[in-house]
């Protein structure tokens, strides 16, 4: 390699340049010459460093983190999201109020220092109940999102990876399911179960909303499958399973993370809607949806009872969407060059 004739020719070019300089700048030759050499050595050092890899190492995730941080709306949304989550987790722990204690003398108190969100028809503190309801909403949201990812990714990845006739069959089946309207589908599922509790709610929401994830995953896998590195992996003897896990699924991780934050608000909204129409968690437990439904009957007299849970839902959905937006920009490999 290094005994290549090209190397000598480069040297020749350098020498002749230096010679020309010597002639034309006769008086300051010495100075110029050493400057020139300085520059050469410095450049060489710089290149050596780069080739050696002493620059700060940037991993994919670190890069993504810096890009996410740059997006102010997403950062604000992330803080808002964490704050909301913290509110739901910590308020019931540190509050002295008993969220289930009925005290009719305290019913329908407007917001005050003692009861920041007022009280409901049974005199229960709405502040603590909102936090508790948030716990239920979040829990259902996370569980259902997890289930949706599991089902959607498995279905979509299978379809996209195997392809051919199976892909065709699976996708046509999905098209048929797409035709069914979302909420009636969930209602129907709940009706079949007969009871409403945490798990039936999760199952109903999952069944009603895993389609999009499956479709997107299938598309992703199909695109990734065409990559040269997949072919290269087969060429060094990787098995199909190995290719699927190491080269395809791992590359969809960014999309999956974005999808978690896109599905979460949808699922929580779905839960709220089902609760609102009376298919929610049974009292005295509550979610934001059931709280809003309780408040709905009194909205002209005691508006805070519906306004507060509604605001909570809106807060969650908006922050999740902005996080998803920021994550999509941060994790999209095409943004890397920018």
Partner 1 sequence: MPLLEVSDLRTFFKTREGEVHAVDGVSFSVEEGKTLGIVGESGCGKSVTALSIMGLVQSPGRVVSGTAVFDGRELTTLSEGELEDVRGREIAMIFQDPMTSLNPTLTIGTQLTETLRRHLNMSREEAKKRAVELLEEVHIPDAARRLKDYPHRFSGGMRQRVMIAMALSCNPKLLIADEPTTALDVTVQAGVLDLLEELRLQHNMTMIIITHNMGVVAETADDILVMYAGQVVEQAPAVELFDRPEHPYTEALLGSLPDIERENVRNERLVSIPGRPPDLLVPPDGCRFAVRCKYAGIDDCDKIAPALREIRTGHWVRSTHPASERSAATVEAAR
Phi, psi of 328 (to 5 degrees): -60, -45
Work out how close the CB of 89 gets to partner 1 at its nearest, in angstroms, rounded to a whole number. 33
**Residue 45 Cβ, how far from partner 1 at the closest point, in Å?**
14
> Which of 26, 93, 235, 301 lies at the binding interface for partner 1 (CB under 8 A)?
235
Instruction: Out of 14, 70, 72, 231, name the contact with partner 1 by CB under 8 A.
Output: 231
φ, ψ for residue 114, nearest 5 deg: -70, -45
| Virtual torsion, Cα 257, 145, 263, 265, nearest 10 deg | -120
Task: Choose which of 234, 285, 298, 317 interacts with partner 1 (CB under 8 A).
Answer: 234
Kindly tell me which residue out of 237, 300, 301, 334 binds partner 1, with binding defined by CB under 8 A.
Answer: 237
The CB-of-261 to partner 1 minimum distance in angstroms stands at 20
- Does residue 13 belong to the site contacting partner 1 (CB under 8 A)? no
> Measured between alpha carbons, how far is 33 from 43 in angstroms, rounded to an integer?
15
Q: Label each residue of 102-157 as H, E or C.
A: CCHHHCCCCCCCCCCCCECCCCCEHHHHHHHHHHHHHHHHHHHHHHHHHHHHHHHH
With CB under 8 A as the contact rule, which of the stretches 32-40, 53-61, 145-153, 179-187 interacts with partner 1?
Answer: 53-61
**x/- track of binding to partner 1 for residues 307-336 (CB under 8 A):** --------------------------x--x
For residue 140, which of 270, 300, 241, 301 has the smallest C-alpha distance?
270
Residue number, 64 or 308, with CB nearest to partner 1: 64
The helix, strand and coil proportions of the chain, stated in percent and rounded to the nearest 5, come to 75, 0, 20
CB of 50 to partner 1, least distance (A): 10
Report the residue from 228, 300, 334, 338 that binds partner 1 according to the rule CB under 8 A.
228
Select 278 or 333, whichever has its Cβ closest to partner 1.
333
**Of residues 58 and 102, the one with the C-beta less far from partner 1:** 58
Reduce the DSSP state of residue 251 to 3 states and report it.
Answer: helix
Binding mask 274-313 for partner 1 (x = CB under 8 A): ----------------------------------------
Is 129 one of the binding residues for partner 1 (CB under 8 A)? no
Query: CB of residue 1 vs partner 1: minimum separation in angstroms?
Result: 6
Residues 201, 15: Cα–Cα separation, whole Å: 80
Q: Does 236 bind partner 1 (CB under 8 A)?
A: yes
DSSP 201-220: HHHHHHHHH-HHHHHHHHHH
Cα distance between residue 265 and residue 235, in whole Å: 43
CB atoms within 10 A of CB 18: 15
Which of 232, 277, 314, 335 is close enough to bind partner 1 by CB under 8 A? 232
Count CB atoms within 10 A of the CB of residue 152: 25
Residue 57 binds partner 1 (CB under 8 A): yes
- Cβ at position 229, least distance to partner 1 in Å: 5
CB of 256 closer than 8 Å to CB of 221: no
Q: Quick one: which segment of 94-102, 135-143, 250-258, 320-328 binds partner 1 (CB under 8 A)?
A: 250-258
Given the complex with partner 1, which of 27 and 165 has the nearer CB atom?
Answer: 165
Among residues 238, 256, 311, 318, the one that binds partner 1 under rule CB under 8 A: 238
Please, are residues 67 and 335 in contact by the beta-carbon 8 Å criterion? Answer: yes
Cβ of 13: how many Cβ atoms within 10 Å? 10
Q: What angle is formed at CA 151 by the lines to CA 165 and CA 281, rounded to 5 degrees?
A: 145
E runs forming strands in 194-235: none
Considering the rule CB under 8 A, would residue 250 count as an interface residue with partner 1? yes
Within 187-226, the residues that bind partner 1 by CB under 8 A are none
Tell me the residue length of the chain: 338
Residues forming contacts to partner 1 in the complex (CB under 8 A) are 1, 4, 6, 51-53, 57, 59-60, 163-164, 227-229, 231-240, 242, 246-247, 250-251, 253, 333, 336
């Amino acid at each position: 390699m290094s005994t290549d004739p090209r190397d000598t020719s480069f040297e020749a070019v350098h020498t002749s340049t230096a010679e020309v300089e010597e002639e034309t700048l006769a008086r300051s030759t010495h100075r110029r010459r050493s400057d020139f050499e300085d520059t050469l050595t410095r450049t060489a050092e710089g290149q050596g460093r780069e080739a050696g890899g002493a620059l700060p190492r940037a991993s994919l995730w670190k890069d993504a983190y810096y890009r996410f941080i740059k997006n102010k709306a997403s950062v604000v949304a992330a803080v808002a999201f964490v704050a909301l989550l913290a509110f739901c987790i910590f308020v019931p722990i540190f509050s002295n109020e008993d969220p289930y204690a009925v005290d009719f003398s305290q019913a329908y108190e407007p917001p005050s220092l003692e009861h920041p969100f007022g009280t409901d028809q049974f005199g229960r503190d709405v502040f603590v109940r909102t936090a508790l309801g948030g716990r239920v909403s979040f829990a259902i949201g996370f569980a259902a999102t997890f289930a949706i990812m599991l089902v959607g990714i498995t279905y979509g990845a299978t379809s996209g990876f195997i392809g051919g006739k199976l892909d065709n069959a699976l996708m046509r089946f999905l098209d048929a399911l797409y035709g069914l309207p979302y909420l009636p589908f969930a209602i129907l599922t709940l009706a079949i179960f007969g009871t409403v509790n945490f798990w039936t709610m999760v199952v109903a929401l999952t069944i009603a909303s895993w389609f999009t994830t499956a479709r997107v995953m299938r598309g992703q896998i199909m695109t990734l499958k065409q990559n040269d590195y997949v072919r290269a992996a087969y060429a060094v003897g990787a098995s199909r399973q190995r290719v699927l896990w190491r080269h395809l699924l791992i590359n969809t991780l960014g999309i999956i993370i974005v999808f978690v934050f896109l599905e979460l608000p949808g699922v929580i909204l779905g839960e709220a809607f089902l609760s609102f129409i009376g298919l929610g968690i049974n009292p005295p437990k509550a979610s934001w949806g059931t709280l809003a439904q309780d408040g709905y009957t009194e909205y002209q007299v005691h508006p805070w009872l519906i306004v507060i849970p509604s605001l909570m839902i809106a807060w969650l959905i908006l922050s999740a969407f902005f996080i998803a937006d920021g994550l999509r920009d941060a994790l999209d490999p095409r943004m890397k060059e920018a």
